[in-house]
Amino acid sequence: MDEIDMDNEDEKKSSDQDKKFLNPTPMLDELEEGPWPSFITGIKELAERTKKPMLRGVMDQLEYSYQTRMGYWKGGLVMVRGYGSGVISRRTMIKDKIPEAAEFHTFRVQPAPALHYSTKMLRDLCDTWEKYGSGLITLHGQTGDIMLQGIEESKIQECFDAINQAGWDLGGAGPAMRTGVSCVGPARCENACYDTLKLHYRVLKYFTEDVHRPQYLYKFKFKFSGCPNDCSNSIFRSDLAVIGLWRDSIQMDSTEVLDWIEKNGTDSLVNNVINRCPTRAISLEHGEMVIDNKNCVRCMHCLNVMPRALSPGRERGVTVLVGGKNILKVGAMGCTMVVPFFKMDADEDVDKFIELCESIIDWWNDNGFEKERIGETIERVGLKQFLTGVGLEASVDMVAKPRSNPYYKSKY
Amino acid sequence: MDEIDMDNEDEKKSSDQDKKFLNPTPMLDELEEGPWPSFITGIKELAERTKKPMLRGVMDQLEYSYQTRMGYWKGGLVMVRGYGSGVISRRTMIKDKIPEAAEFHTFRVQPAPALHYSTKMLRDLCDTWEKYGSGLITLHGQTGDIMLQGIEESKIQECFDAINQAGWDLGGAGPAMRTGVSCVGPARCENACYDTLKLHYRVLKYFTEDVHRPQYLYKFKFKFSGCPNDCSNSIFRSDLAVIGLWRDSIQMDSTEVLDWIEKNGTDSLVNNVINRCPTRAISLEHGEMVIDNKNCVRCMHCLNVMPRALSPGRERGVTVLVGGKNILKVGAMGCTMVVPFFKMDADEDVDKFIELCESIIDWWNDNGFEKERIGETIERVGLKQFLTGVGLEASVDMVAKPRSNPYYKSKY
Amino acid sequence: MNVKRTWKTVESGPRDYQEALHPVVKKNYGKWKYHELPKPGILKHVAESGDTLFTVRAGTPRQDSVDLIRRLCDIADKYADGYLRFTVRNNVEFMTPDEENVELMVKELEAIGLPVGGVGPCVSSVAHTQGWLHCDIPATDGSGVVKSIMDSLYDDFKNWQMPSKVRLSTSCCAINCGGQADIAIVVKHTRPPRVNHEIIANTCELPKAVACCPVAAIRPTVVNNKQSVMVDHKKCMYCGACFGACPAIEINHPEHSKIGVWVGGKNSNARSKPSLGSLVAHNLPNNPPRWPEVNEVIRKILTAFKKEGRPWERLGEWIDRVGWKHFFEETDLIFEKDMIDSYRHARTTFNQSAHVRF
Amino acid sequence: MNVKRTWKTVESGPRDYQEALHPVVKKNYGKWKYHELPKPGILKHVAESGDTLFTVRAGTPRQDSVDLIRRLCDIADKYADGYLRFTVRNNVEFMTPDEENVELMVKELEAIGLPVGGVGPCVSSVAHTQGWLHCDIPATDGSGVVKSIMDSLYDDFKNWQMPSKVRLSTSCCAINCGGQADIAIVVKHTRPPRVNHEIIANTCELPKAVACCPVAAIRPTVVNNKQSVMVDHKKCMYCGACFGACPAIEINHPEHSKIGVWVGGKNSNARSKPSLGSLVAHNLPNNPPRWPEVNEVIRKILTAFKKEGRPWERLGEWIDRVGWKHFFEETDLIFEKDMIDSYRHARTTFNQSAHVRF
Ligand code: SRM
Ligand code: SRM
Ligand code: SRM
Ligand code: SRM
Ligand code: SF4
Ligand code: SF4
Ligand code: SF4
Ligand code: SF4
Ligand code: SF4
Ligand code: SF4
Ligand code: SF4
Ligand code: SF4
């Protein structure tokens, strides 16, 4: 290849470029290589098809970010009528450089629990969004929202009215109740110990007012998992984790156990099941598998390995944990168990649960500081004080071990 | 039994009493019942034989404490010439009630490492102590001192001169280097990985000045254990714990292993040895016991169960841990490993070790607050800062896991 | 806003799920018996009724265009009775009772560039954050890092080559919206924030800026006769909490905002309790567009895990078994002083025992 | 002090041990091969040289009279070549290479009232503190509590009835000079301290009293026109740190200084790492001369451990295996809210998981 050829190449490229709606984005283009689906390819395709200047602006700014290794969005306040949150406002800091990136606001929209869709729902949403917004959608945000990314302030109310009319509502932002997350649960999973979708739906519906109008000390997140596998990542990522479990014995289908052993061998039973039980609650007796259910901590492991042979017991419900969050300021915190078992069969159980949640949130708003997550409040004020405040029984289930220091005020 | 008889009984008792040197101590007398050797019986016998008024005073006050459930000693300052500590001063708060308890000072005396005695040494000590003091001796205090309990201030110097002449010296008290504790180690234990007695002796001798003249921020304690069984309780009870261990492989005598299995059965090998290894470093291969020494954490368990078959490796030394203490103020703290392995064979190794100890103590005195144990200083200032300050290498052995938060100042 | 409003807002909260459920799901709701994993990317669920439901799972870019979503709908209409769902890890799932639809869907998905996989003992999609594309405080790009990593782990997504599930997350600032994961890739600042005294004098309530710092490193001060704040460099530990809270404070830096890698985070309760990840590599350059240094670290970690992990053993559980010393040796990563915890409950992470491996 | 001094102090530090070692010990120093436990109270050590050394261990009151010590010396002279030693748990040990001396010593020891035992899987003597007999801050008596407990556990000292070693400690104030143990019996105050304003005005440096409190509950104040301090009852958590540090402050109380029981402390590194004890009973009356309520709690704990513990399993390891819930059920003790940690690293003791036994 000689120099002249190269020049030709360049010319060819730039003349190709001329036909393109988008400006060159050499760094971003490198993200089009490789087998994993490329978000850059997606945005480029969308931009070239729709010719929306906002998308060109966003690509220009993103390229500039890649080149300078800095971000250029700033936040602000954009709202739909009557709401105090749900729209994340983004305006460029470098409007003089990239005027097309002037506005890039985002709707956080609450999907159906466990992220189920009919194609009709989704297609309608796409159409509306393409009409008013950029056509770019995040499925889904880490807090479980559909994020409709990129709209101008002037179109926000109209767009919202349209999606709201189609059955959608906004999710949380700011010091408010946030959108919930639930695992697929009873919809498709044999491990579900309660109806995660229904509870998610009922609870978040109940707190809708607090989702839309931030009036808490800080954010508050629910996550719902049907069993301790915790597919919704509730322990470190929600303020209130609802995890399904059972109180009686693991259900065992002896024929299936023998089948399993026949297929996988006794060695595998010992190495992959018995030896992995955290409390050594399983033993091998005369070639058979015996579970000491009093000693089982409902970790799910043996059920996971032998899903045909073992299932959760019949007396099902949830355990309630409070106070998880990630790293900011104090370091990550795991939710702490505060109700070992809560029945969740009837509608009244759900009502009672919602009552409990209300008193937990009230206690927090009464006892917490501004910008303090409930886990931080409990750490500062004390778990005992929390339990007393909310009216919960203390139990040894709530601790890994009783205290090792005598530094407490006794009541007697 | 009629009333007249009872009167006679009472009279008899009180006439017995008349012959006694001691006043009645009805509550303490209850501690003479039961099979365990009674300290009350001992003190009474001693008092009746020696007729020392101080002992009568002490018994009277102790009885009074039992009745009122309060203590009545107060501290103060009593010293021998040239020393700043080593004598614990006790005077009664209720001199008007019990004048004979006026003084009850105590010598803390450093015994030989690992608490070995010849009868000659002990008899001489008893004789001197009976001459000047109460005749009551605590063998031993929790920090390892002989405590000669009960002497008047006026006799202290003379008594000290006498025991000092016989080869004894005082132990620590106050913000000073304290008396050390060492396990029986090489004197009688096959697990000893270094000479606990010698190291104890050399180190405490080196720091004698600091034992006698309190000049630290607070107390500082050494404890020496020959192996991780830690018979000197070093982890929670010393500021600097020296624990013997080995770096190579456990020595295994195959014949003895087979013997053991023959005697105890394979079940016992599996249940009591293999299954108890904390890191599962032992396996059963073709009926034989195999240790994965890279995975062994030197916990001692398998050696404890099979002392004839297993012994520590040949490349022996110590691990050094810093910062243990019990509960006061901050809650109990365990020593933290700061030197995973330190050779301790030659005399020069001991010299180097003493140098290290000096720089640790210097760092503490430079960086700590008044009345702050070194463990508290490290917790406040940071383990990394401690290591840097003392010039020690960081290693992952020093933590249970690397940090889970990003909140540190990086050096780059 | 002067648009004429024709619709009165209905504050309905979450979208109703009834209309979103596949009919076989609806019929067997809460009555599932067991599942099998017939092959990578495919789940088979069997109900008490005897009904069988196949699920095909595929990776997505998460930042989707309506075009892509419409293509997904096309596939769902064709093979999955008009329903689809997404997982908490941005994967899309199609369910069908008809086994023959499975392979057809796999083909069509691959045809539109979406890999089928993420089920069982493999690497699933990366929990994912906004980055330069949308957030107001990012030091790097979420989607770009993810794309770069998943290009390398493409085969590990599509096949069963791992001892067990491997979950990754990336976060474009130290806040870590991506969460705990087997391997978490998170921005790590290495310099204190800078204060723009102009902005602060004009816009900010000073007490807020002062209150946001967890170690009280921010103090009121006066600059050019105007109220402002200063950062005490001795105290500041580069957490960035002030940055999100106060518009006049900037901590991001093209050079000094680095990337750290954390391993052993676990959310499930299976076997061991949930656990936080631990820092094992830091000071990695923030190197767009392909972040090769980060990729290299992840490769090292997963190569070692693949080699040594046992079935059902999560990454952190493997390390618990073999020890951190072995982990660092095997991955060729270096344990540094800074990896010793120094924050609030640091002492509880120290080795308060004589247990040690040589 | 007007005694004429004839001796110049020799600051020799620890007593030299060479002259204190038994000749067989000296000969085989550092060359021991293994040990056996022939029967309760007796150890047999075998050296590489083939030499054998028998040890007889016996309990003592710790607060010994010279009379008792001389009797021990008599026995040592008769049967142990004139040497003896003590253990870290106040037991006395006699060593002899002659097996026939063993039974003779056992007899003589029992004759002077000292039980032979404390070796192997049994209860050893109690780590022991000063109490009313000598300390200036005790709320109870160390020796008295120990005597009462060991009367009950006499058979458990002399025989092998426990799954493994059981180590006890008592402490006569919350400072806990007795240390961590399988079962620790420690004073627990339940009221804030009282200030004697007279004393403080006369004797005390105020800053010291103020500085000693870990939760800043002590504040300077003025009483009767004199400088003094006051205790903020809201903040005070009854630790007693001020009591030892300031002569005008008194926390002990005949009624309100109670006794707590802590289980699962472990100092050795065998199997599990060393661990701190956990509170399982509190508010027990301080009830001299026999402390029956404390004794009863210990009986309950040891009965359960005897029944369920496995060989080599320490008390805390047993609880780890069966769970705290089971421990409380089996011992009939009651878990109370106050047993949830609320101090510095409390959060790290919470159950941050869904693991639970029913
Ligand atoms: C005598 C002894 C108890 C016994 O009967 O055996 C004892 C007795 C006292 N201890 Fe102790 N401690 C004794 C071993 C311990 C131990 C155990 C050990 O050393 O292994 C500890 C726990 C380990 C540790 O060092 O933390 C211990 C932790 C304390 C503390 C708390 C220190 C802390 O930082 O947590 C204090 C309070 C203080 O220092 O102000 C204390 C204070 C005291 C004082 C000086 C109380 C006082 O302020 O007057 C006691 C004097 C009692 C007396 O009348 O003799 N004593 N003290 C032990 C020393 C005897 C000896 O020299 O051999
Ligand atoms: C679809 C999904 C739930 C949802 O509502 O979206 C789901 C579905 C299932 N999970 Fe999950 N899990 C899902 C996210 C999670 C998460 C959260 C996450 O990935 O962010 C976790 C916690 C991960 C962690 O610990 O950090 C999770 C921890 C588990 C476990 C426990 C694994 C372990 O050993 O620690 C199991 C048990 C198993 O693998 O058999 C499990 C098992 C299952 C089963 C087998 C349940 C069932 O019987 O149907 C499902 C298929 C497993 C598979 O994909 O291999 N699921 N599962 C999520 C799919 C995510 C994805 O696209 O990759
Ligand atoms: C969009 C999203 C990341 C994503 O791409 O998925 C996100 C984005 C932001 N998060 Fe987050 N967080 C998102 C899920 C999370 C999660 C994960 C979760 O919810 O499971 C966490 C960790 C869990 C937790 O709650 O602690 C999380 C912990 C934070 C924090 C730290 C809170 C703390 O107490 O530690 C902040 C800082 C704050 O609140 O000031 C934060 C703040 C932010 C802000 C609002 C930054 C800011 O101050 O402007 C980001 C807006 C970005 C944008 O441009 O949209 N975000 N954030 C996620 C929300 C989407 C949704 O609604 O579905
Ligand atoms: C004599 C003494 C050392 C000394 O210098 O005085 C000693 C001597 C021996 N210890 Fe120890 N230990 C002695 C106090 C300790 C202590 C400290 C204490 O009791 O306060 C501990 C730590 C206890 C704790 O964890 O709280 C201790 C933890 C051990 C262990 C580990 C036990 C475990 O499984 O956790 C062993 C191993 C064993 O039992 O075989 C051990 C083993 C031994 C052996 C077998 C070592 C040997 O081969 O000679 C000795 C006889 C054991 C026995 O008594 O059953 N020694 N041993 C101490 C006797 C105390 C007593 O009179 O009861
Ligand atoms: S959390 Fe449990 S019930 Fe929910 S999807 Fe996961 S395994 Fe199924
Ligand atoms: S669910 Fe977990 S704890 Fe229970 S028996 Fe199975 S493996 Fe053991
Ligand atoms: S600590 Fe080890 S070396 Fe020392 S006596 Fe105990 S078992 Fe023997
Ligand atoms: S010493 Fe402990 S860790 Fe090492 S092999 Fe033996 S039991 Fe396992
Ligand atoms: S991790 Fe940080 S930069 Fe990324 S989305 Fe969350 S808040 Fe924004
Ligand atoms: S980066 Fe964190 S520590 Fe530093 S000033 Fe800001 S808030 Fe404070
Ligand atoms: S525990 Fe308290 S009362 Fe008892 S000796 Fe130690 S300091 Fe004195
Ligand atoms: S008892 Fe403890 S908390 Fe209360 S005032 Fe005294 S030092 Fe402070």
pLDDT band at residue A4, thresholds of 50, 70 and 90?
very low
Residues A335 and A306 both lie in one domain: no
Domain span including residue A25: 20-66
Residues A102 and A216 both lie in one domain: no
Residues B261 and B376 both lie in one domain: no
Look at residues B119, B140, B165 and tell me which one is the last residue of a structural domain: B165
**Interface membership of A343 toward D (CB under 8 Å):** no
Q: Which pLDDT value is given to residue A5?
A: 47
- Percent of chain B, pLDDT > 70? 95
pLDDT band at residue A160, thresholds of 50, 70 and 90?
very high
From D63, D177, D242, give the residue whose CB has the most ligand 1 atoms within 8 Å, as the site to mutate.
D177
The DSSP bridge pattern shows strands C257-263 and C278-284 to be antiparallel
Sort out which chain A residues have CB atoms less than 8 A from D213's CB and list them. none
Give the atom of ligand 6 at the shortest distance from the alpha carbon of C271: 2
What gap in Å lies between CA D201 and CA A228, rounded to an integer?
61
- Residue B30 inside a domain? The answer is yes
Tell me the per-residue pLDDT of A49-80, one tens digit each, with 9 for 90 and over: 999 999 999 999 999 999 999 999 999 999 99
Q: Which pLDDT value is given to residue B5?
A: 47
What does pLDDT average to over chain D? 95
Q: Which pLDDT value is given to residue C227?
A: 85
What does pLDDT average to over chain A? 95
Tell me the per-residue pLDDT of A178-220, one tens digit each, with 9 for 90 and over: 999 999 999 999 999 999 999 999 999 999 999 999 999 999 9
pLDDT band at residue B49, thresholds of 50, 70 and 90?
very high
The DSSP bridge pattern shows strands B222-225 and B181-182 to be parallel
Phi, psi dihedral angles at C214 (to 5 degrees): -70, -20
Contacts 24+ apart (CB under 8 A), B292-297: B293/B248, B293/B249, B293/B250, B294/C326, B294/C357, B294/C358, B295/C322, B295/C323, B295/C326, B295/C357, B296/B250, B296/C357, B297/C323, B297/C355, B297/C356, B297/C357
Tell me the per-residue pLDDT of C65-117, one tens digit each, with 9 for 90 and over: 999 999 999 999 999 999 999 999 999 999 999 999 999 999 999 999 999 99
Residues A359 and A377 both lie in one domain: yes
Q: Whose CA is nearest to atom 38 of ligand 3?
A: C244
Rounded mean pLDDT of A141-156?
98
Rounded mean pLDDT of B229-251?
98
Q: Which residue has the higher pLDDT, A189 or C214?
A: A189
CB contact under 8 A, B28 and D289: yes
Total tally of structural domains belonging to chain B:
4
CA distances from D315 to A404, D275, D307 (A): 15, 11, 12
Q: Hey, of D340, D343, D344, which one would you mutate to test binding to chain A, going by the most A CBs within 10 A of its CB?
A: D340
CATH number of A98's domain: 3.30.70.2500
What does the block give as tokens for C287?
A: 């190197």
pLDDT band at residue D4, thresholds of 50, 70 and 90?
confident
What are the residues whose beta carbons fall under 8 Å from the beta carbon of B38, sequence distance 6 or more? Answer: B31, B32, D61, D147
Torsion sign (Cα): C175, C180, C186, C192: positive
From A74, A106, A143, give the residue whose CB has the most ligand 3 atoms within 8 Å, as the site to mutate.
A143
- Helix/strand/coil (H/E/C) assignment for every residue in chain D: CCCCCCCCCCCCCCCCCHHHCCHHHHHCCCCEEEEEEEECCEEEEEECCCCEEEEEEECCCCEEEHHHHHHHHHHHHHHCCCEEEECCCCCEEEEECCHHHHHHHHHHHHHCCCCECCCCCCECCCECCCHHHCCCCCCCCHHHHHHHHHHHCHHHHHCCCCCCCECEEEECCCCCCCCCCCEEEEEEECCCCEECHHHHHHHCCHHHHHHCCCCCCEEEEEECCEEEEEECCCCCCCCCHHHHHCCCEECCCCCCEEEEEEECCECCCCCCCCECCEEEEEEECCCCCCCHHHHHHHHHHHHHHHHHCCCCCCHHHHHHHHCHHHHHHHHCCCCCHHHCCCCCCHHHHECCCCCCCC
DSSP single-letter state for residue C136: S
Q: ipTM of this model?
A: 0.95
What gap in Å lies between CA D118 and CA D59, rounded to an integer?
7
Option in B382, B383, B402 nearest C324 (CB): B402
Sort out which chain B residues have CB atoms less than 8 A from A404's CB and list them. 331-332
- Residue A350 inside a domain? The answer is yes
What does the block give as tokens for B169?
A: 């010296």
Q: Which pLDDT value is given to residue C3?
A: 55
Q: Which pLDDT value is given to residue D3?
A: 55
Phi, psi dihedral angles at C249 (to 5 degrees): -105, 135
- Kindly tell me if the per-residue pLDDT of D1 is higher than 60: no
- Residue A11 inside a domain? The answer is no
CA distance B409 to chain D (A): 23
**Interface membership of C269 toward B (CB under 8 Å):** no
Residues B44 and B93 both lie in one domain: no
- Residue A77 inside a domain? The answer is yes
State which residue of chain B sits closest to A330, comparing Cα positions. Answer: B405
Look-up: residue for tokens 């303490």? B28
pLDDT band at residue B17, thresholds of 50, 70 and 90?
low
CATH number of A360's domain: 3.30.413.10
Tell me the per-residue pLDDT of B250-300, one tens digit each, with 9 for 90 and over: 999 999 999 999 999 999 999 999 999 999 999 998 888 999 999 999 999
Q: Is B120 exposed, middle or buried (0-12, 13-18, 19+ CB in 10 A)?
A: middle
What are the residues whose beta carbons fall under 8 Å from the beta carbon of A324, sequence distance 6 or more? Answer: A234, A235, A236, A237, A238, A239, A241, A333, A334, A335, A375, D352
The DSSP bridge pattern shows strands B240-246 and B316-322 to be antiparallel
- Kindly tell me if the per-residue pLDDT of A1 is higher than 50: no
Q: Hey, of A235, A267, A327, which one would you mutate to test binding to chain B, going by the most B CBs within 10 A of its CB?
A: A327
- Regarding the beta carbon of C87 and ligand 2, being less than 6 Å apart is answered yes
Tell me the per-residue pLDDT of C140-180, one tens digit each, with 9 for 90 and over: 999 999 999 999 999 999 999 999 999 999 999 999 999 99
Contact D287, D255 (CB under 8 A): no
- DSSP for C318-335? HHHHH-HHHHHHHHT---
Rounded mean pLDDT of B100-104?
98
What does the block give as tokens for B325?
A: 């203490």
Tell me the per-residue pLDDT of D107-147, one tens digit each, with 9 for 90 and over: 999 999 999 999 999 999 999 899 999 999 999 999 999 99
Sort out which chain A residues have CB atoms less than 8 A from D190's CB and list them. 410, 412
Rounded mean pLDDT of D77-104?
98
pLDDT band at residue C209, thresholds of 50, 70 and 90?
confident
The CA dihedral of B141, B145, B150, B154, to the nearest 10 degrees, is: -150
Residues A124 and A233 both lie in one domain: no
**Interface membership of D2 toward B (CB under 8 Å):** no
What gap in Å lies between CA B383 and CA B362, rounded to an integer?
15
Q: Which helix (H) or strand (E) holds C93?
A: strand C92-96
Tell me the per-residue pLDDT of B222-236, one tens digit each, with 9 for 90 and over: 999 999 999 999 999
Structural domains in chain C, sorted by start:
18-111 (3.30.70.3340), 131-189+254-349 (3.30.413.10), 194-250 (3.30.70.20)
CB atoms within 10 A of CB B348: 9
CA distance D117 to chain B (A): 12
- Percent of chain C, pLDDT > 70? 98
What gap in Å lies between CA C127 and CA C293, rounded to an integer?
20
Residues A217 and A365 both lie in one domain: yes
What does the block give as tokens for D61?
A: 């009151």
Residues A79 and A154 both lie in one domain: yes
- Kindly tell me if the per-residue pLDDT of B404 is higher than 50: yes
CA distance A324 to chain C (A): 11
What does the block give as tokens for B294?
A: 């890279």
Residues A261 and A322 both lie in one domain: no
- Residue A12 inside a domain? The answer is no
From D55, D93, D268, D317, give the residue whose CB has the most ligand 4 atoms within 8 Å, as the site to mutate.
D268
Residues A83 and A122 both lie in one domain: yes
State which residue of chain A sits closest to C141, comparing Cα positions. Answer: A66
For ligand 4, residues with CB inside 6 Å are B 114, 183-184, 189-191, 229-231, 233, 304; D 35, 43, 87-89, 91, 118-120, 124, 127, 164-165, 167, 266-268, 270, 312, 314
Give the atom of ligand 7 at the shortest distance from the alpha carbon of B191: 3
- Residue B139 inside a domain? The answer is yes
* Angle, in degrees to the nearest 10, between helices A39-50 and C142-152: 120
Look at residues B66, B81, B104 and tell me which one is the last residue of a structural domain: B66
Q: Which pLDDT value is given to residue D246?
A: 83
Q: Which pLDDT value is given to residue B236?
A: 98
What is the whole-number distance in angstroms between the Cα of residue B225 and the centre of ligand 12? Answer: 35
Option in D190, D262, D337 nearest A384 (CB): D337
Which one, of C142, C161, C185, lies nearest residue C40 by Cα?
C161
- Residue A349 inside a domain? The answer is yes
**Interface membership of A333 toward C (CB under 8 Å):** no
What does pLDDT average to over chain C? 95
Q: Which pLDDT value is given to residue A16?
A: 54
CB contact under 8 A, C352 and D273: yes
Looking at the CA of D37, which ligand is closest? 4
Phi, psi dihedral angles at B152 (to 5 degrees): -90, 155
Look at residues A141, A165, A189 and tell me which one is the last residue of a structural domain: A165
Q: Which pLDDT value is given to residue C248?
A: 85
Contact C297, C333 (CB under 8 A): yes
- Residue A410 inside a domain? The answer is no
- Kindly tell me if the per-residue pLDDT of B3 is higher than 60: no
- Kindly tell me if the per-residue pLDDT of A136 is higher than 90: yes
CATH number of A283's domain: 3.30.70.20
For ligand 8, residues with CB inside 6 Å are B 277-279, 281-282, 291, 296-303
Residues A114 and A259 both lie in one domain: no
Q: Give the number of residues written for chain A.
A: 412
Rounded mean pLDDT of D222-231?
88
Residues B281 and B355 both lie in one domain: no
Q: Which pLDDT value is given to residue C205?
A: 67
- Kindly tell me if the per-residue pLDDT of D83 is higher than 60: yes
Rounded mean pLDDT of B187-192?
98
What gap in Å lies between CA C268 and CA A232, rounded to an integer?
9
CB contact under 8 A, A406 and B327: yes
Rounded mean pLDDT of A21-35?
98
Q: Quote the distance between the C-alpha of residue A6 and its chain's center.
A: 50
